[in-house]
Amino acid sequence: MRIYKAKDYKDMSRKAANIISAQVIMKPNCVLGLATGSSPIGIYKQLIEWYKKDDLDFKEVVSVNLDEYKGLERDNNQSYYYFMHENFFRYINIKPENINIPNGMEMDEKKECENYNKTISDIGGVDLQLLGLGHNGHIGFNEPEEAFERETHCVDLSQTTIEANARFFNNKDEVPKQAYTMGIKTIMQAKKIVVVVSGEDKAEIVKKAFFGPVTPRVPASILQMHNDLTIVGDEAALSKI
């Protein structure tokens, strides 16, 4: 496990964007596992800037997103489809057919999970997976459980996650109660994993997840077992380790 300490959010974003751009330069047709949330927004901004300067080319890149709310239309401004297009894809030259995000409007859970697992295996797995970290230790939407969920599944979001994400909606009742998420096994099969954490409110869970016992009660703790894990955090998020 490598830990890079950044001064602040901007510095964290730049450091993490550097790792992603190295991946794209070294393997132009790489598969990037992408994340939503407030943590990666600065990374996407930085990558867009480098793309505009002609330092990066995404024309052969394939993306696969971690998760999507169940029941939100793509054009709902809180869907992760919308988030990814608004914050990243519409500014770069990734091909639309190379973008993969779970289909939140597929009500047949079994069908959607099988489809997404097949998509990931058909593209040959993930080269670099970017992750944020939920306050309860969730990665993607893998919530604290009795056991690690392996592949794509439909989750009932925990109360803390619903409350944490309510800030993006008009009120708590509008937050979807379920989501599709890549499973832990798929995340762990990524060749490289980069976790970004920012802010004092993440300090406690950073300590638990990366220096505490490995347990499905803290899903991110499994990442300690990955052989190519990089954590990029700002001083506040790393203040307890």
Q: Which of residues 108-167 bind ligand GLP (CB under 6 A)?
A: 132-134, 140-141, 161, 165
Nearer to ligand GLP, 44 or 141 (CB): 141
Q: Among the options 127, 138, 153, 165, which is catalytic?
A: 138
What the block records as the tokens of 135 is: 């306050």
Does position 222 interact with ligand GLP (CB under 6 A)? The reply is no
**Closest residue to bound ligand GLP by CB:** 132
| Nearer of residues 23 and 142 to ligand GLP, judged by Cβ | 142
The neighbouring-strand residues paired with 229 are: 193
Q: How many residues does the chain have?
A: 241
Q: Which is nearer to ligand GLP, 98 or 129 (CB)?
A: 129
Catalytic residue list contains 145: no
Report the alpha-carbon distance of residue 34 to residue 132 in Å, rounded.
Answer: 10
Instruction: Using the rule CB under 6 A, give the single segment among 15-23, 31-39, 85-93, 212-220 that binds ligand GLP.
Output: 31-39
Which of 6, 30, 37, 47 is in the footprint of ligand GLP by CB under 6 A? 37
**Is 138 one of the annotated active-site residues of the chain?**
yes
Task: Kindly tell me which residue out of 67, 68, 112, 127 binds ligand GLP, with binding defined by CB under 6 A.
Answer: 67
Asked if 143 is an active-site residue, the reply is yes
Q: Three-state SS string across the chain, please? A: CEEEEECCHHHHHHHHHHHHHHHHHHCCCCEEEECCCCCCHHHHHHHHHHHHCCCCCCCCCEEEECEEECCCCCCCCCCHHHHHHHHCHHHCCCCHHHEECCCCCCCCHHHHHHHHHHHHHHCCCCCEEEECCCCCCCECCECCCCCCCCCCEEEECCHHHHHHHHHHCCCHHHCCCEEEECCHHHHHCCCEEEEEECCHHHHHHHHHHHHCCCECCEHHHHHHHCCCEEEEEECCCCCCC
Q: Is 66 in the site for ligand GLP (CB under 6 A)?
A: yes
Q: What six digits make up the tokens of 94? A: 């990734």
Tell me which of 12, 35, 193, 209 binds ligand GLP, using CB under 6 A: 35
Q: Which of 136, 153, 165, 226 is catalytic?
A: 136
| Distances in whole angstroms, Cα of residue 119 to Cα of each of 62, 109, 174 | 11, 15, 30
Pick the closer one to ligand GLP by CB: 30 or 102.
102
Considering the rule CB under 6 A, would residue 65 count as an interface residue with ligand GLP? no
Q: Is 234 in the site for ligand GLP (CB under 6 A)?
A: no
Catalytic residue among 68, 143, 149, 234: 143
**87 tagged catalytic:** no
Is 221 among the residues that bind ligand GLP (CB under 6 A)?
no
Instruction: Give the active site residues.
Output: 67, 136, 138, 143
Contact positions vs ligand GLP (CB under 6 A): 35-39, 66-67, 132-134, 140-141, 161, 165
